[in-house]
Amino acid sequence: MIGGGSYYYANAEIRHEVEQVKARDRELVQVTAEGLHHGLLDMAFDVDYLLHLPRLRESLSQPTPGNLARVAEYFVAYAEAHRNIDQIRWIDAKGKERVRVDYVANRGVVVPEASLQDKATRDYFIDTMALPAGSLYVSPFDLDIEHGNQEKSPKPVIRFASPIRDARHDRHGIVVVNFIGRQLLDRVRPSVGSVGARPQLLNRQGFWMVGPNPADEWGFDIDRPDARLGVRFPAAWAAIAAQAEGQVVLDSGLWSWKSIAVIDEIRKLVNAGNTPGFDVQGNANYSWHTVVTTPAARLRAIEQRIWLGMSPIIFFAILVAALVSYWIMRSQRHVEILNTQLADRAEAAGGGRASKGQLPRQHEPRDPHADERDSRARLPA
């Protein structure tokens, strides 16, 4: 009984602590997702602000060197004030960069005209030019490519772009902002959950953008097809891909996740007020997954700690039970001995009484006048 009670209590404690871990991991997933939502919303508002700069509007119809220089000054000031921006550009309707400001070494740098590039074949330019006015294009999150090559030091970027028109609704290209991806990813990295669990960020294919091993990040852009969750943990990826939000315990540990449909989320965020915002466009299947993992070893450590903590209590309880059992057995033995002795005495007492009832008659006391009476009775009359 004591063993069964101890087993039940220990398992109840284990379940309680594991449920606490599950709750903390779910909360961390939610907090991480909300941090990404806020970051994306800020990016959308940045583009909206730049799109409506009066000096930019004036330069559309009169792109003189003076007007373009003043637009560049506004771009520099904005980039230096926000520090989450890698580039701000106005690209004309032919795909030629007209104004470009790079954020380098904590300052905005105006790119000279001779270094401006043709972006007419880039997907973000083609897709944004096809959108109606008032639309916002959101690119996939990937590593930046400059002059046709990936930069030597991987630089994750996400681009927000919008078509720009003048007062007569004539197209004049797009305004595109490259946001520094690491600023957005920093909303994921610092978080720490239960027993050291850290959130991860994956793209729709299960490649890590923030992972437990930095060497596995951005595998889809650096030709590492094996660096994805579906290869390393196929059971976990199957669960995550099948459900937008959930939690499951597998042999590899506790997995908690929430999927973010990026385009839909930004659309909801920018249109949350009373005034309609952007018509947000992009790949309809564009999604991220925020994931938190508590390894199986850490769950087992909880069990081991509780069982080790219970060991002295269980040992003491068993010792007490053994002593009580010994005392009860001894008491019962003592009672049995006493009962045997009482039975023997009772039997001896019963035997003595039976013997007294069978004594010979000569031992009975005689009347001294009995012989005289008998002789008289025998004389003839």
Identify the residue with better confidence: 243 or 2: 243
Q: Which pLDDT does position 205 carry in this prediction?
A: 93
Averaged confidence pLDDT in the chain: 83
**261 band by pLDDT with thresholds 50, 70 and 90:** very high
What is the per-residue pLDDT across 337-354, written as a single tens digit (0 to 9) for each? Answer: 888 888 878 878 776 665
pTM for this predicted structure: 0.74
**289 band by pLDDT with thresholds 50, 70 and 90:** very high
Q: Which pLDDT does position 118 carry in this prediction?
A: 95
As given in the structure block, the two tokens for residue 89 are 């550009």
Neighbours of 127 (CB within 10 A): 17
H/E run at residue 55: helix 54-61
Q: Which pLDDT does position 95 carry in this prediction?
A: 96
Return the minimum-mean-pLDDT range out of 48-52, 131-135, 366-370: 366-370
Amino acid letter, residue 118: D
Question: Could you please report the per-residue DSSP string of 159-225?
Answer: EEEEEEE-TT--EEEEEEEEEEHHHHHTTTTT---GGG--EEEEETTSBEEE-SSGGGTTTTTTT-T
What is the per-residue pLDDT across 161-219, written as a single tens digit (0 to 9) for each? Answer: 999 988 788 889 999 999 988 888 888 876 655 556 789 999 999 999 999 888 899 99
Cα separation values, 46 from 78, 109, 380, Å: 9, 18, 163
Return the minimum-mean-pLDDT range out of 16-30, 35-49, 138-152: 138-152
> What are the two backbone dihedrals, phi and then psi, of residue 282, each rounded to the nearest 5 degrees?
165, -170
Is the pLDDT reported for residue 243 higher than 90? yes
What is the per-residue pLDDT across 245-257, written as a single tens digit (0 to 9) for each? Answer: 999 999 999 999 9
Which residue ranges form the domains of the chain, and what is each CATH number?
2-300 (3.30.450.20)
> What are the two backbone dihedrals, phi and then psi, of residue 125, each rounded to the nearest 5 degrees?
-70, -45
Is the pLDDT reported for residue 309 higher than 80? no
